[in-house]
Structure 1
């Protein structure tokens, strides 16, 4: 059974799952789809072809699914998909896709968006991603799972960020960040591996040691290019799963620029 405050506006066509709670002064557009037990605290605006997964909570003055902040946008049909169990705090803005980026923005399960953070059009976030206050993710950004963004950090468009990475507060990231990498500074430089995250994730000690050795070979050597070193390490350490995640990320696409140590 849904619970809709009398001051809320739910337009015809909106789909509400069981147990949805919509608080005072919320506005829900006709294409919105809210899963079971979604809660909109108050003053939340949901627009466009937006799907919100079960158990997600959205706090006051969040803007979800409104038109992409892209001057090339011409009103084309685009979508925003938010996973289950997410927390979307005050003043957060989440934008749908555009024609130039595949017409969709996707967000995984159990993500947390703290106050005034932003996810731009055509970006794709994995599961358990945390955006601290005032984080800004531009359009066309790909973020893996278990990534944490420190407060006030910013990511330029078309950047890739691997699983289990950590972006320090106020960092300005303009190049791809390897899985398990940790960056600080503006412009951001690679400051080592996210060892705290690796330990919290309970990866085996021997796999972490192998990853540390691979990191040293990748970023403390001057032999060949980064891609050359990644190819060599991939051939030598095929039995190391964490190392493989990093080398696969580097080798996945050619002509990419990577965040490296200062």
Structure 2
């Protein structure tokens, strides 16, 4: 167990530190490939035992369909995590306005146990928050690296992202993710990053690669490719990103980022059936 644990996803470094010696931190198995070395962090969290609670004047900003809700109080943001049927949160995180520092309150009832500071969905939420501050986007997309560039296969749950990953097995590619991929811009290039939040194929790599093409998945009886105009590509990306509805500036950034992305990266509709011939179809536009 450690008193400081770093996590790096999509080139963003988050670090958690124990507030006292009785707080023992650990990194969950699925996050260990994304462990960060010591160094400056984009976000620093202090983890302490206590009775997780919100300030009396905290105003609800967003209620998810899952376990978390977002509140605001003055310049601070508050994330409260509450199990279904429970009357009080089991974790509460406060964040400063710059998203550079925060404090995580963990339910005292678990004080005898080590703490995973990044327990899902917090790790994913923090990335969505940080990316929306001018850094990039998280997409519902599987990603693989073929001949030095990343191909993203975009689609909602059930569209075939994990299936596509399996169909490419044995084709000599490197997989980044089978479900969720981060895209960021560095200079004049876009880069795709793997994430820990995998789908049915269990692919979660900390690797990255320059982004080459976007494919929007469509299940069909036979394989077919159709180039998409930027406007159509943008429409499809918007329903496959993680929008920050509670943050107008973040929403504006995401829309602008995606609009520029589809202007610079070729977009295709990829109709596919469940056979490996789709590999040759995709590669046919790369030769």
Q: TM-score if structure 2 supplies the norm length? A: 0.25
Per chain length, whose mean CA-contact separation is higher, i.e. which structure has more relative contact order (CA < 8 Å, sep 6+)?
2
**TM-score with structure 1 setting the length:** 0.26
Higher strand share: 2
